[in-house]
Structure 1
Amino acid sequence: MTKRPVYPVIFTDLDGTLLDHHSYSAKPADALAARLSRQSLAEIIPVTSKTHAELLCLQQEIPLPFSLCVTENGSVIHGPESYFPGEDGRSGRITLGIAYPAIMDQIGKLPRSLRSHFRGFGDMSVDEVVDATGLAPDDARRAKDRQATEPFLWSGTDGELETLVAIVAEAGLRIQRGGRFYHLTGRATKEQAMARIIEKIAGHKPDCNLVSIALGDGPNDLAMIETADFGVIMPNPQGVTIISTRPAVRTAPAPGPAGWVTAVTEILAELGLNIPES
């Protein structure tokens, strides 16, 4: 029996993983990613908290070869029409979480005593998002282009927040805490998006042995990292480096794109894949 060729599917966080935390440069990871894509040796899939509008802009600034991506922390998958024909009411996109209009509808139904403490991106003008985030106006406009999550500021008490959590849970929503902002989302996760994409790619590459690789540096990446066949924790000098005891998880030797290249190259070599230089 002929052995099926290995086809790695690489799921990668962006900030602090594929991109440098400070410069947002992808070098030298961009060169390796380009070679893998050009020679059809692997699929590289960004998995990010960014909106699709933000990611498309980033792809123009830093040419990265990807046809599939996951945005808003696992809530939305974007890909070719052949993968997602007509799903989510439009081809090339599927919402795993709860669509933004439904989230906004639930916000509108909140009791006034809670709603008065809730100030989301949908409540803010572009200038107000600039003031709240420090983003440039164009970046703020893209950050407001939500599809399945709503960042918000909270001015109420911890007890009122607990009440809010209970109320939105009845509508299938949850609240995640970020740095300054909270995030109102559905129950979609990065690892759920990973599984859905693997299923789709397997249908298009039935003769290949798919191997998942996941890299990230934050707590919201850990489940994805631990679910993959090969997981990579990226050191995070800006915060607490996450840890795992899973045998399939390793820690990259350096943060950002340099560590990304080393970790991915090592895993590919273990899979018997030698990457030509050109």
Structure 2
Amino acid sequence: MRLIVFSDLDGTLLDHETYSWDDAKPALRRLAEMGAMVVLASSKTVPEIKPLQRAMGLEACPAIVENGAGIIGLERSQHDADEYKEVRGHLDSLPDRLRSLFLGFGDMSVNLVAEKTGLSLAEAERAKARSFSEPGIWGGSDVERDRFVAALNEQGIKAQQGGRFLTLSKGRTKADAMREITARYRPQHTIALGDAPNDVEMLKAADYGVVVSNPQNAPLPHLQGENTGRILRTTLPGPRGWSWAIEHLLQTLSME
């Protein structure tokens, strides 16, 4: 395996507003032609990510789901698909005040999930079909958020901030899942692309990381590795920036 590309979806490979990935199709074809593996790494659930894999021609590749809490398509990856119930149980055990400030997908109707995400009703239903983690909207102050996160940490539940939602899980990250996949395939090179705080660890762990521009969110802080060129930033947003970065790095790695 010469190259594995690990890619976030929303705001990175998928347009933040339209969820289109048309602008990335030429780069995806180039990667397929050279035999590179593309691993989708997202907060999306298994029912959400499998149709995207099929549409992109990535069915043979593993995928990282629910912010790294689970992996599909990887032999010997064993994570309990009932972790969602455990996460929800710890969430519901919090003091009423803190609990009331977090509106999780499990607290929302399909219609409300569709409204908050911009997904269709069918897509929102798939987004609610969770196995490992609980995304949601924080409705309190920063101080209360710190108390909320600390209370969950005491119970072994971690909170990761994504581009849209605060996601609760047992603590595995996209970078943890990336390392598991890399250990299995041992590629010569790895590239990781993302746009949100929960992508940073993954970007740092790859041989080359790419911060994809997302004007809808505050820019990520300066990352170690940017001064040496190991971590890049795109000026183009979403799939256009994704495509530029892949073409640039393939030239850098003499894989064009």
TM class by smaller structure: 0.7 to 0.9
In the alignment of these two chains, the number of paired residues is 251
1:46-104 alpha-carbon deviations (Å, 9 max, x no partner):
111222222223345x4342521111112111114xx236x236xxxxx7xx8212112
Identity of matched residues, %: 38
Q: Provide structure 2 residue ranges, at least 5 long, that are not aligned to the other structure.
A: none
- 8 Å contact from structure 2 (residues 27, 246) kept in 1: no
- Partner secondary structure for residue 2 of structure 2: strand
In the alignment, which residue of structure 1 is the partner of 2:214?
A: 236
Question: What secondary structure sits across from 1:56 in the alignment?
Answer: helix
SS of equivalent to 1:239: coil
Q: Which residue of 2 aligns with 1:3?
A: none
Given candidates 193, 201, 209, the residue that maps to 1:223 is 201
Report the Cα distance in structure 2 between the residues aligned to 1:177 and 1:232, rounded to whole angstroms: 18
Long gaps (5+) in structure 1: 1-5, 90-94, 203-208
Trace 1:192-207 onto structure 2 (pairs within 5 A).
192-202=176-186
**CA distances 1:88-137 after superposition (whole Å, capped 9, x unpaired):** 36xxxxx7xx8212112223433445445544222333234335545322
Q: 1:160 to 1:192 in 2, by over 3 A?
A: same
Checking the alignment, whether the CA contact within 8 Å between 2:162 and 2:197 is kept in structure 1 is: no
Q: Secondary structure at the match of 1:233?
A: strand
Question: Mapping of 1:157-196 within 5 angstroms?
Answer: 161-177=145-161, 181-196=165-180
What is residue 148 of structure 1 aligned with on the other side? Answer: 132
d(CA) in 2 for partners of 1:156, 1:257: 33
Q: CA RMSD in A?
A: 2.8
d(CA) in 2 for partners of 1:215 and 1:49? 14
**Is contact 2:194–2:212 with CA below 8 Å preserved after alignment?**
yes
8 Å contact kept, 1:11–1:47: yes
Q: 1:125 to 1:237 in 2, by over 3 A?
A: closer
Q: Which residue of 1 aligns with 2:73?
A: 79
**In 2 relative to 1, CA 263–114 (structure 1 residues): closer, same or farther, beyond 3 Å?**
closer
Matched, 1:263 2:241: no
Counterpart code for 2:56: P
Distance 1:233 1:177 in 2: 16
* Higher-Rg member (1/2): 1
Higher helix share: 2
Give the Å deviation of 1:230: 1.1
How much has 1:238 moved relative to structure 2?
2.2
Change (3 A) 1:118 1:263: closer
Counterparts of 1:160 and 1:261, CA distance in 2: 40
| Change beyond 3 A, Cα 1:108–1:199 | same
User: What does residue 8 of structure 1 align with?
Assistant: 3
Mark the CA change 1:235 to 1:116 in structure 2 (over 3 Å): closer, same or farther: closer
Q: Deviations over 1:247-269 (max 9, x none)?
A: 21122352222332222122222
Using the alignment, how far apart are the partners of 1:49 and 1:57 within structure 2?
15
Q: Determine the C-alpha separation between the residues in 2 that align with 1:240 and 1:154.
A: 17
Match of 1:125 among 95, 109, 121: 109
The structural deviation recorded for 1:198 is 0.2
